[in-house]
C-alpha cells in the first residue's frame, strides 16, 4: 500500500505554509516525501523551510503576496522553473475579517475576496496551464464549513469559501478527464490564530465545542492525512470532492 500514498519525487506548491493549517499540510506532504515550494509573502521567514529541510527533502521559498495579482501570476511559473516541475498545488492561504454585515467595510470585503478567492483562482489557472498538457496533477483547495453554512459576522469569508467550493467542482468537471484532480478540504473549527477571537470568547467557544462530536477543536496536524490522501495516487478517481475534516460537525 505504501506506493499509493508516497509522494517521493513529487513537487508541491503550498500557500499559507508559514502557519496554521497550511503549515501542517506542508510538513505532512514533506513527511510523505514531497519537495515543497512555499508560496509566501515574507521570504525572510524561513521557519517552515528549515523544518521541512530537516525532514530530508528540498524546500524553496517563492515570493507570493496573495494581495498582489501580478505576483501571484508569476508564482507558479517561478516554482516550475526553480523546482523543475509541479505535481501538487495546495491553496491554503487566507484571511478573515469579522463584523456585522451592516458595518462590513468595502475595503475588508475586497481584501477577503482577493486573498481567499481571486488568488485561489489565479493559482489554479496557472497550475492548470501546466498540469493539463502533461495530463497529471493534484490541486487541493481549502474550503470551509461556511461553504455549507452562512456563519456569523463573516459575509465576505462565507462568500469566498462558498465560491471556492464551486470553483473546485467547476475545475474538476473540466480537468478530470485530463488527468488532473481538483478537490477541496473543508476544515471545521481549528485552533489556529485565525480563530483566536472565537477561542477567547468563553460563551461561543463552549457552544462550538459542545456541538463537535469528537469533543475537541481540531489542530493543524489533523490535516496531514487528508492532504496526503488527496495529493497521492490513492485519490486518483476522486474529483470535485469536498472532504470535511471537522470532528463530525457537519454530520450532527
Query: DSSP letter at 178?
Result: G
Which whole-number Å values give the CA distances from 151 to 55, 86, 107, 145, 189, in the listed order?
38, 35, 20, 8, 12
Does 153 participate in catalysis according to the annotation? no
* Coil, strand or helix at 166: helix
Is the separation of the CB atoms in 75 and 89 below 8 Å? Answer: no
Residues 204, 88: Cα–Cα separation, whole Å: 36
Question: What's the rounded Cα separation, in Å, for the pair 99 and 173?
Answer: 35
Phi, psi of 76 (to 5 degrees): -70, -50
Contacts of 160 (CB under 8 A, 6+ apart): 112, 113, 116, 117
Q: Is 111 helix (H, G, I), strand (E, B) or coil?
A: helix
C-alpha torsion 145→146→148→153, nearest 10: 140
Catalytic, out of 153, 157, 189, 237: 157
What is the number of other CB atoms lying within 10 angstroms of the CB of residue 158?
A: 20
List, by residue number, the catalytic residues. Answer: 157
Amino acid at each position: 500500500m505504501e506506493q499509493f500514498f508516497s509522494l517521493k519525487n513529487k513537487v508541491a506548491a503550498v500557500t499559507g505554509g508559514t502557519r496554521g493549517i497550511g503549515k501542517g499540510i506542508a510538513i505532512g506532504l514533506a513527511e510523505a516525501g514531497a519537495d515543497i515550494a512555499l508560496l509566501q509573502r515574507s521570504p525572510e521567514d524561513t521557519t517552515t523551510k528549515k523544518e521541512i529541510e530537516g525532514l530530508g527533502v528540498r524546500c524553496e521559498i517563492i515570493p507570493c503576496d496573495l494581495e498582489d495579482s501580478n505576483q501571484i501570476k508569476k508564482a507558479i511559473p517561478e516554482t516550475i522553473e526553480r523546482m523543475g516541475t509541479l505535481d501538487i498545488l495546495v491553496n491554503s492561504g487566507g484571511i478573515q475579517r469579522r463584523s456585522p454585515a451592516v458595518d462590513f467595510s468595502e475595503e475588508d470585503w475586497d481584501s477577503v475576496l482577493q486573498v481567499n478567492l481571486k488568488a485561489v483562482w489565479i493559482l489554479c489557472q496557472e497550475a492548470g496551464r501546466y498540469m493539463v498538457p502533461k495530463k497529471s496533477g493534484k490541486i487541493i483547495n481549502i474550503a470551509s464549513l461556511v461553504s455549507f453554512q452562512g456563519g456569523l459576522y463573516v459575509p465576505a469569508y462565507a462568500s469566498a469559501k462558498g465560491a471556492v467550493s464551486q470553483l473546485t467542482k467547476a475545475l474538476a468537471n473540466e480537468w478530470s478527464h485530463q488527468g488532473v484532480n481538483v478537490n477541496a478540504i473543508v476544515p471545521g473549527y481549528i485552533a489556529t490564530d485565525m480563530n483566536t477571537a472565537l477561542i477567547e470568547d468563553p460563551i461561543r467557544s463552549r457552544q462550538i465545542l459542545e456541538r463537535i462530536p469528537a469533543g475537541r477543536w481540531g489542530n493543524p496536524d489533523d490535516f496531514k492525512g487528508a492532504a496526503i490522501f488527496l495529493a497521492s495516487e490513492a485519490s486518483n478517481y476522486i474529483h470535485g470532492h469536498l472532504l470535511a475534516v471537522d470532528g463530525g460537525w457537519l454530520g450532527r
